[in-house]
Amino acid sequence: MAMDHAMDSEPGPGLHYATDSGLDEEDAQLVAERGRVDRPPTAAELTVPALSRFLVEVAGPATVEEYQARLRAVLGSALDHTVAGLDLDHLPDSAALALDRSVRPVPPWFAAISTGPGAAHAARETAPEFARQGAGRFVAAGHGTGWRLAGWLERFDWDNTFRTWQWWDVTRTGGRTVSIWVDAHGEDFFACQELRWAAWTAGAARVDGPALVDARVWLAERSGHPLSPSAGR
């Protein structure tokens, strides 16, 4: 598939780890994934023809930008956890990587809402309204009763085999709708409840997907020229 490289085509720092660091491919991908949370990827980093997309309607009164910031903060902390746990003992000089392995704290609102059901109900009530409403919608949508923080973070352990998707980006689709993009290796059906939990509790009114979408749709949204939500399917 021909890709439109009208946007910045210089690879970001995460991609350089994949080519220059001596990390094995799997570890390099995890480092690059963490980098994409803080700095949206460029066209040069796109090597797959399709990405999996969740369409999210953001609940008011939060702005789309506030929602995106909340989601990035949660995933950033989780992927810090991933990178911090990497086993680099096999490298001759792991210190030479200058790899940031610090872990940002989980946002307090997410820690409060991720206390599990039942006896933890009172703790959940300390979470802000957007998180409580999002958790309620997660349950109403049939996704279960919610997550405890420790179990949720375990899905981001570097050696956890249950998480088969990798974070790609979050973009504005139009109005109060955003697209959450992940690389699920060409799949549109995969285990993703941990991502749904973050998406809902960050303040979603609705979460649809995932759907496998032509990667050019992401390129269009990232460059500020979104296509219709149904495009690329």
196-210 pLDDT, tens digit each: 999 999 999 999 999
Domain count, the chain: 1
- Across the range 72-86, mean pLDDT stands at 92
6-42 pLDDT, tens digit each: 344 444 434 333 444 566 778 888 889 999 999 999 9
Question: The whole model's pTM is what?
Answer: 0.84
Tell me, yes or no, whether 148 lies in a domain: yes
Locate 144 and state its tokens.
């279960």
Q: How far apart are CA 228 and CA 232, in angstroms?
A: 9
Tell me, yes or no, whether 26 lies in a domain: no
Q: What pLDDT, on a 0 to 100 scale, did the predictor assign at position 12?
A: 43
Half-sphere exposure of 1 (CA within 13 A, CB side): 14
- Across the range 120-134, mean pLDDT stands at 87
Q: Find the domain containing 122 and state its range.
A: 48-85+104-222
Q: What pLDDT, on a 0 to 100 scale, did the predictor assign at position 85?
A: 80
Locate 216 and state its tokens.
């050019």
Tell me, yes or no, whether 21 lies in a domain: no
